[in-house]
Amino acid sequence: MSACKRLLYIVKHRGIWPSIWRRNVTTWSPVGAAFNAKPHRRLELFEKNGLFGVPELSSPAGFEVTTKRALKDTRELVDKVCSSPPGAVTVETFDQLSDGLCKVADLADFVKVAHPDPSFREAAEKTCIEIGTVVEKLNTNVDLCRSLKNLLDNKEVLAQLDPETRKVAELFMFDFAISGIHLDEKLRKEAVKLHVKLLDLNNEFLMGSHLPNRIAKSAIPEHIHCHFATEGSFIQIGGLHAESSNDLVREVAYRIFLYPNSDLMECLEELLKCRNKLAKLVGYESYAHRALQGTMAKTPGKYQSHQPLILNLFPYRTAIDFEMIKDMKTKLNPHNAELMPWDPPYFSGVYNIEPSLYSPYFSLGSCMEGLNSLFTQLYGVSIMSEHPSAGEVWNDDVRKLAVVHETEGLLGYIYCDFFHRANKPHQDCHFTIRGGRQCQESGQYQLPLVVLMLSLPHPTKSAPTLLTPSMMENLFHEMGHAMHSMLGRTRYQHTTGTRCATDFAEVPSILMEYFATDYRVVNQFARHYQTGQPLPQSMVARLCESKKVCGAADTQLQIFYSALDQMYHGKPQNRSTTDILKDMQQKFYGLPYTPNTAWQLRFSHLIGYGAKYYSYLMSRAVASMVWKQCFVQDPLNRDMGERYRREMLAHGGGKEPMLMVEGMSRRKRLNYTEFAPLVCAI
């Protein structure tokens, strides 16, 4: 090996080992070390690469190049599918068409919210709108739809297709149906215009929902200034500070962060009107009816039929939790004992534990080691730190992980954008950058790429990043999404990983929360970052028990969010979104509305989960059943892990969710209504 090649090999493959913190007992594994040390800057000896390895994206101008190429390929594939006889090639070409557009649009969708360079964000936003417009036009392309209909109407050809291919063909036809393909030409054009308008409104609301609010320093007590970011004579508040033990900090953050923005309010009102108009145009009773097609719930009526059961059981249990939280608050602050909306998230997370006592045992590196150990034991999968190429990532803090199976080899890549920075959304998210698919044109499998985005504190000179228990649980949750993408070896990218029914997509991530709070799992990785001592058994027990406390209050909050989402997307109310929120909060939560706040303007899930926020409740019920039936006896059982991958993770959206749950639970004829009591039992 030449000296040059040896240098390349070392730069690309050597592990990163921390030299700052001395360990008395053990040493970090490479994946733990990669997250418990600041990354080494790469020597840019060779030509700079582009984002995610796309050469053109070394500059913002590259988005225009990739967009033009994608649109050129799209035109050629549309011609191909419209001129080919019906068969498996029809579905394969549809998927190739979808993949070409998604690889550009999904990447741009991430960059527009996460890249620190405004010029990259602006270029990505332009690409999102351009690709989105083309997609909506394709969804009302009569010739394209006819080619798929010819396949689905040909019973002889259809019988020769495997179940996955038939399912994907039906999903593509479903996209045509909800986009208004059945309308006349004039109305189809109107539907496209509404879709394009919604792209703009969605983007405007999503970006605005994450922007911080600011207030003059003189307007709030000086002694709490240190809890917030400052900008000259102003305090910037970019979140709710729900984990702060200081009542006043939580209250100020709540009142200022949720203070109404008239422009964003107008955007939300217009967005909801536009969604309703589109739904009515394409033949649905409401946007909620349109959105729930293709989910486990099927219709709003089926979801809403569970509300009496939930409303009868939860207020009593929630009242008990609120009384417990009020008692805790009274002990800490007898002069300010009234329970307010900014209190439950804090107190339900600290009952019987002090988060700061746990954090030294939950260094980011140790938590990543714990995830690696869990995945190895359940699936035979390892996560390995890998140096990204120069220009491949958008910030020096981003880590790249290769996901490798013990016999199948490389499964895909996870980019970990974990640390807080200015103008980065304060929301934990999973982004699919590229879906997995079997490429008929090359014979190779296209490996999935995903990004996990958190907002964790940076390591310091004296300590690595230390997580609170809730931060650790969120990390496990988001990694559940990532492994769904990695372990689903679907033939088509249209159904890859998390591209499944929305009310099933959260099952793998919520199931990971159960692993994160099981002492048999926590014991494997929770150890002090300085001494290497494991988290004492008594503290593990208290942590696990604390998750069972205030469960009704936490679930009641999710019920409120879900009901509000359904109301916004149901029959038009002819009143403001704030008036609707006041009524729904009183009916479904029980704590008073705080004047001059507009929580709905921070409800960013309205974009991706519009009319489907109930999915978190539904997914939690399914995950609870899977945990109790399959993992509670032994959370590290390899046979059960393999069954879970085979029955649930492997299919993505290529199989009906209830069939996957039946396969995992070994029960037949499950139906949606069985999970309503489980919501109440969580």
Q: What is the per-residue pLDDT across 607-624, written as a single tens digit (0 to 9) for each?
A: 999 999 998 888 998 999
Confidence of residue 27 (pLDDT cuts 50, 70, 90): low
Give the range among 310-324, 464-478, 499-513 with minimum mean pLDDT: 310-324
**CB-count exposure of residue 669 (10 Å: 0-12, 13-18, 19+):** exposed
Residue 476 domain flag: no
Tell whether the model's pLDDT for residue 1 goes beyond 60.
no
| Selection from 97, 106, 104 nearest residue 172 by Cα | 97
For 597-637, what is the HEC assignment?
CCHHHHCCHHHHCCCCCCHHHHHHHHHHHHHHHHHCCCCCC
**pLDDT (average), residues 256-278:** 97
Does residue 236 form part of some domain? Answer: no
More confident residue, 486 or 544: 486
Examine residue 150 and state whether it is found in any structural domain, yes or no: yes
C-beta of residue 215 within 8 angstroms of C-beta of residue 221: no
Please confirm, yes or no, whether 478 is among the known catalytic residues: yes
Give the CATH number, domain containing residue 154: 1.20.1050.40
Q: Would you place residue 301 in the very low, low, confident or very high pLDDT band (cuts 50, 70, 90)?
A: low
Q: What is the dihedral of CA 374, 379, 380, 386, to 10 degrees?
A: -70
How would you classify the pairing of strands 409-419 and 399-405? antiparallel
pLDDT at residue number 352 = 67
Mean pLDDT of 148-152: 96
pLDDT at 11: 33
What is the residue-averaged pLDDT of the chain? 89
**Looking at residue 19, what is its pLDDT?**
36
- Evaluate whether residue 293 is within a structural domain: no
Asked if the structure places residue 71 within a domain, the reply is: yes
For residues 560-565, average pLDDT: 93
Strand 429-434 with 449-456, pairing: antiparallel
Q: Which residues, in sequence order, are CB contacts of 123 under 8 Å at separation 6+?
A: 60, 61, 62, 63, 64
Q: Which of 172, 198, 185, 186 is nearest to 279 (CA)?
A: 198
pLDDT of 99 > 90? The answer is yes
Residue 135 in domain: yes
Which pLDDT belongs to residue 8?
33
For residue 428, pLDDT beyond 80: yes
Tell me the residue range of the domain where 82 lies. 51-139+141-179
pLDDT over 50 (residue 24): no
Model pLDDT, residue 315: 73
Q: How confident is the model at residue 49 (pLDDT cuts 50, 70, 90)?
A: confident
Q: Look at residue 150 in the predicted model and tell me its pLDDT.
A: 96
Which tops the pLDDT comparison, 665 or 600?
Answer: 600
* pLDDT at residue number 320: 87
Query: In which band, very low, low, confident or very high, does the pLDDT at 12 lie, cut at 50, 70 and 90?
Result: very low
Domain count, the chain: 1
427 within a domain of the structure (yes/no): no
Residue 681 in tokens: 């039992």
Residue 107 domain-assigned?
A: yes
- Write down the catalytic residue from 130, 190, 369, 478: 478
Share of the chain above pLDDT 90, in %: 71
pLDDT surpasses 80 at 328: yes
